[in-house]
């Protein structure tokens, strides 16, 4: 009897003593600190416009992170209006969020406001479109490399034996946009390396498929032996594709562009409107940015602007052979 009592007491004692210890062992290292660091923090995103596929992918991913780890995530959409964008930026400075995410309309417009935000102690992540003001972080495309990749693709195709000609077209978006300026630099590098390549037209299509179609239709009349077209956004270049298809030249003209990797781009490849899409995989960009956001939130002791990092996301070459699976996401898959 005595033995039994002692045994029970010992058992209880060990249980009482070991339970907290066991709980500590199950605790994932750093999780509590992580949750603590993120909880109740505020992140504001000022996009160009939420109407674009890349923006929808980014916010779907960030909203998932915010909901899971308890930080507040707001989108203040200026809907392509730069004046509204500046107001949104000023408003955000007043709100003093912990992190501000900005997608720049061009290199100049937000430059001053970004400086002010930084001076106000807000950490700023620029996503995919840069400003001349460098802030804590840039996550997005290496746009010069993107220009090199697309122009390189055309150089390979149009300088090959049996190419219809060495003529190529650059369908820009908006000429003052960072992406345009840097892609053009990449294109110029490839043109300098391949002097035989002939750039016959460089008109901006203003990210509009109908404008792209009109330019392509006119250029095809001027240069019936055109070999390739490079562009900046798959949703605009489908217009170029439509003009090429209407002219019955889909086997002759190679259309290369880039995009967020949405299903619509894969559909366009399947329909023969686009040949190659350099997919910058917006969901992966958003995950990389989320890592950066969490780093900001876990290190509040580092002052805004004290470290400046740049990270270029992955770029996948997608054509008819691999326009499937993860290269073609839909929004519902990301939520």
User: Rule CB under 8 A: which residues touch other proteins?
Assistant: 49-53, 56, 79-81, 175, 201-204, 206-210, 212-215, 217-222, 235, 238-239, 242, 245-246, 264, 267, 271, 273, 331
Nearer to other proteins, 57 or 178 (CB): 57
Question: Using CA atoms, how far apart are residues 314 and 333, in angstroms rounded to an integer?
Answer: 19
Q: Are 308 and 136 in contact (CB under 8 A)?
A: yes
DSSP 220-236: HHH-TT--EEE-S-HHH
Pick between residue 139 and residue 238 the one whose CB is nearest to other proteins.
238
Which of 4, 91, 3 has its CA nearest to residue 46? 91
Q: Determine the Cα–Cα distance for residues 237 and 255; give it in Å rounded to an integer.
A: 8
Q: How far apart are the first and last CA of the chain?
A: 61
Residues near 181 by beta carbon (within 8 Å), at least 6 away in sequence: 107, 143, 175
| In contact, 328 and 266? CB cutoff 8 Å | yes
Whichever of 56 and 109 has its CB closer to other proteins, that residue is 56
Q: Smaller CB distance to other proteins: residue 36 or 210?
A: 210
Of residues 52 and 101, the one with the C-beta less far from other proteins: 52
134 vs 214 by CB, closer to other proteins: 214
Q: Rounded to an integer, what distance in angstroms lies between the CA atom of residue 52 and that of residue 324? A: 21
Cβ of residue 172: shortest distance to other proteins, in angstroms? Answer: 8
**CB crowding 166-177: b at 16 or more within 10 Å, else e:** bbbbbbbbeeeb
- Cα 326 to Cα 270: distance, rounded to the nearest angstrom: 16
- In DSSP terms, which residues pair with 312 in a beta bridge? 140
């Amino acid at each position: 009897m005595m033995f039994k009592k002692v045994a029970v007491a010992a058992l209880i004692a060990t249980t009482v003593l070991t339970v907290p210890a066991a709980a500590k062992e199950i605790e994932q290292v750093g999780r509590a600190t992580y949750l603590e660091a993120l909880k109740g923090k505020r992140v504001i995103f000022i996009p160009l416009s939420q109407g674009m596929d890349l923006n929808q992918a980014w916010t779907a991913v960030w909203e998932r992170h915010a909901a899971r780890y308890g930080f507040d995530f707001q989108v203040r959409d200026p809907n392509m209006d730069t004046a509204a964008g500046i107001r949104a930026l000023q408003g955000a400075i007043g709100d003093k969020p912990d992190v501000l995410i900005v997608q720049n309309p061009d290199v100049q417009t937000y430059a001053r406001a970004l400086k002010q935000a930084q001076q106000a102690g807000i950490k700023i992540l620029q996503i995919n479109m840069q400003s001349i003001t460098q802030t804590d972080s840039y996550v997005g495309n290496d746009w010069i490399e993107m220009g090199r990749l697309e122009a390189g693709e055309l150089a390979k195709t149009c300088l090959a034996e049996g190419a219809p000609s060495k003529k190529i077209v650059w369908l820009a978006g908006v000429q003052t946009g960072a992406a345009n300026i840097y892609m053009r630099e990449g294109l110029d590098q490839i043109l300098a390396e391949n002097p035989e390549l002939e750039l016959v037209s460089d008109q901006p299509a203003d990210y509009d498929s109908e404008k792209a179609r009109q330019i392509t239709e006119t250029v095809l009349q001027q240069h019936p032996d055109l070999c390739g077209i490079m562009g900046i956004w798959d949703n605009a270049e489908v217009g170029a594709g439509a003009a090429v298809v209407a002219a019955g030249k889909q086997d002759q003209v190679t259309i290369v562009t880039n995009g967020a990797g949405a299903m619509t781009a894969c559909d366009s490849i399947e329909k023969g409107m686009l040949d190659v899409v350099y997919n910058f995989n917006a969901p992966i960009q958003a995950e990389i940015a989320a890592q950066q956001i969490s780093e900001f939130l876990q290190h509040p002791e580092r002052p805004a602007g004290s470290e400046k990092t740049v990270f270029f996301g992955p770029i996948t070459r997608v054509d008819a052979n691999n326009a499937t699976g993860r290269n073609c996401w839909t929004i519902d898959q990301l939520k």
